[in-house]
Chain A
Amino acid sequence: MQLTRRRDAASDEAFTEFAASSQARLRRTAYLLCGDWDRAADHVQEGLVRLYVRWPRLVRDGSELAYARKAVVSAFLDASRRRSSTEVPREDDPTVGSGEDVAAAVTDRAALLSALADLPERQRACVVLRYFEDLDVRATAAALGCTEGTVKSQTSRALSSLRSTLETERSLTW
């Protein structure tokens, strides 16, 4: 029979190394999904725990990062379902000042976060995975557990909404 990798000290060490090296990137992705750094850390933690459960198999397949990304997105979507359907994450970026005299770039970032927060979660995830993680449609569909057609349609709707919101409210033209 084929030998399979066991969960042992070496495996845990490899996982620890992967978690340490990937968490910053995953946290940024999670932040764009939820708009809050603390919650982003929670989603990454949950995603990495899910990753740990499947780690021996993933290492064999070489699919650690893809699964980690998928697990973080799933953790975000699960948490979103738990939250009130009327509650939309809109917390301010703590690295951004407030007030009328903030720099335009900072305002753009705040506007983007706000516009992202207005999107349904799956549309938001499509945008983040496609244009922040630079995943293609197939990889995005795999991460979200949906069809490529769904990714295309959700992304299209999301871009349309973002364009409308940002152009209207913030005079951004992209």
Chain B
Amino acid sequence: MVNELRELLRETAAHPPEGGVEVAEVLAGGRARVRRRSATVAGAGAAAAVAGVVAVTALVAGPGDGDAARVAGDPGSDNRPVGPVLTLADARPATPGDQLREVAALANDDLDRANGTYLVGATPDGLLVEREGPRGLANDSLVTLVDPATGGRDVLPGGRQQVEDLLAADEDRLVFRGQRAQGDELAAVVYDRADRSWSTVRWDLPAEVAYAADVHDGRLHVGVDTGGEIQRFDLWSLSLTDGDDVRDEGEVVGDFTVGPEGTAWTGTHNEPNDSLTVVDPDGDRRTFDPRSGDRCNQLGMARVGEVVALSQYCGRTGDVRDDRVQVLTDTGEPVVTIQDDGIELAGASDDGVLVTAYGPGERAGTYFYELDSARLWRIGGDVGRFGSGWSGQRPGAWFSWSTAVNGGRGATQHVGDWVG
């Protein structure tokens, strides 16, 4: 019987029309996706890294859809935010000097023409990490430590380095993601600030490193592909000094943060999430439902102190997106949900949560939710196509945002702190 079915299936599919798949398009699409995944390794999931330094300098295409296909939920499900809700219209402009102090600014006039120079993070002792590049055939970068108070510049010895995103910066070292680390191998390029020397450490992992990276206590924490698509990862930690020291932390995570406050992770990434687990430094562990909307895809996460911020895409009504940044305590108490079209979480600092709103439109720009006053402030205008932002806990809760210049062909990167 099934033999007839086999034959019928083959006959049915035996005469495809001409055309089909353009392999060149596949190749281009594949390369683009690899680039996006690589960028994500230092992206939203790492926004609250321990050393207060997580940098993303990338071509910004707006907030991700998070694949609406996975926005399921039964018709009777509740997709409404829990707790207070603010929209961008509730924001008031922040006044330099009153609420915001700009520590440094750096302009790149024409990023369409060539790569530029970026402030990619800060050290706890008050220096900015500047990266020029990558450029040229070697795709390498020049790294400089800049003191914004004095203008002093320390070009790091060793010449140009093949480094990607800054993963961590503390008193002892700068940790960059190494270039060309693909597949199951991951590399970090580490600058020892005392020895003024560079070294590279490589780890061979059981599967592809899929998402996010946080550094804590001398170890790089990464999400490793569990073999499914991109919703859950195995949490591994890797020694920054020994490439053979790799450890399966025994947790399956979605988005995650690892820092002095402990470890926290969502149950899923890029699909609806009903679980948030927090493990305190003393090992106390709790898992609860963050009560995100039933049809909200979990996209990113940041944590600072006792506050967790989650970035979500909750569907679309006509042309209007329902994007949310949900802020809650690490025991599950709602703080606020910022809900609007085209927003995403950009980071969190000691004083609040950074939100980027993409254009076009007058409301495009960077916003700051101040925890103390429970107010939403607009701190910068249109970010344009080139966003470069990071946030940190020290020093002074510095964070970074961008504004478009030169008709959107370039961007000015700002670093500041909240003075409230």
Same assembly: yes
A128 to B184, alpha carbons, bound, how many Å?
32
Contact of B195 with A by CB under 8 A:
no
Say whether B69 contacts A82, CB under 8 Å.
Answer: yes
Let me know if B207 is at the binding interface, CB within 8 A. yes
Residues of A within 8 A of B12 (CB): 32, 93, 109, 112-113
Per-residue A-contact encoding for B10-44, CB less than 8 Å = 1, 0 else: 11111111011111011101110110010000000
Q: Compute how far the CA of A82 lies from the CA of B67 in the bound complex, rounded to whole angstroms.
A: 9
In the complex, whether B362 has a CB less than 8 A from a CB of chain A is no
Number of inter-chain CB pairs below 8 Å = 136
Residue with the greatest number of chain B CB neighbours at <10 A, chosen from A4, A51, A105, A162: A4
A5 touches B16 (CB 8 A): no
A147 touches B (CB below 8 Å): no
Residues of A within 8 A of B180 (CB): 6-7
Complex contacts, B8 vs chain A, CB 8 Å? 108-109, 112, 174
The interface size of chain A toward B, counting residues with CB under 8 Å, comes to 55
Q: Which residues of A contact B68 (CB under 8 A)?
A: 82
Q: Does B9 contact A (CB under 8 A)?
A: yes
Are the C-beta atoms of B69 and A16 separated by less than 8 Å?
no
- Cβ of A95 within 8 Å of any chain B Cβ, yes or no, is yes
Q: Which A residue's beta carbon lies closest to that of B228? A: A145
- Interface residue from B16, B72, B183, B204 paired with A1 (Cβ < 8 Å): B204
Q: Is B2 an interface residue (CB 8 A)?
A: yes
User: Which residue of B is nearest A28, CB measured?
Assistant: B13
When the two chains form the complex, which single residue of B23, B33, B70, B207 contacts A57, counting CB atoms closer than 8 Å? Answer: B207
Task: Say yes or no: B69 contacts A5, CB within 8 Å.
Answer: no
Task: Given A4-B204, A57-B208, answer yes or no on A44-B5 (Cβ-Cβ < 8 Å).
Answer: no
Instruction: Please tell me if the beta carbons of B11 and A105 are within 8 angstroms of each other in the complex.
Output: yes
Q: What is the CA–CA distance of A134 and B185 in the complex, to the nearest angstrom?
A: 35
- Report the minimal beta-carbon distance from A124 to chain B, rounded to whole angstroms: 11
Query: B4 in the interface, Cβ–Cβ < 8 Å?
Result: yes
**Chain B residues positioned under 8 Å from A37 (CB to CB):** 16-17, 19
CB of A31 within 8 A of CB of B16, answer: yes
Would B208 and A52 count as touching, CB distance under 8 A? no
Is the CB–CB distance between B183 and A19 below 8 Å?
Answer: no
B26 and A57 within 8 A (CB): no
B70–A19 CB distance below 8 A: no
Contact A131 B21, beta carbon cutoff 8 Å: no
Question: Which of the listed residues A12, A79, A109, A159 has the most CB atoms from chain B within 10 Å of its own CB?
Answer: A109
Q: Provide the bound-state CA to CA distance between A28 and B30, in Å.
A: 22
Contact of B21 with A32 in the complex, beta carbons under 8 Å: no
Contact residues in A for B31 (Cβ distance below 8 Å) = 52
Question: Given contacts A57-B208, A78-B69, is CB(A112)–CB(B9) below 8 Å?
Answer: yes
Query: Which residue of chain A has the shortest Cβ distance to B30 in the bound complex?
Result: A52
CB distance from A78 to the nearest CB of B (A): 5
CB distance A20 to B33 under 8 Å? Answer: no
B229:A74 contact, CB within 8 angstroms: yes
Asked whether, in the complex, the Cβ of B21 is within 8 Å of the Cβ of A54, the reply is: no
5 pairs of A and B residues whose beta carbons are closest in the complex = A52-B30, A174-B4, A56-B183, A28-B13, A4-B185
**Could you give 6 example pairs across A and B, Cβ below 8 Å?**
A27-B16, A57-B184, A79-B69, A81-B72, A82-B68, A113-B12
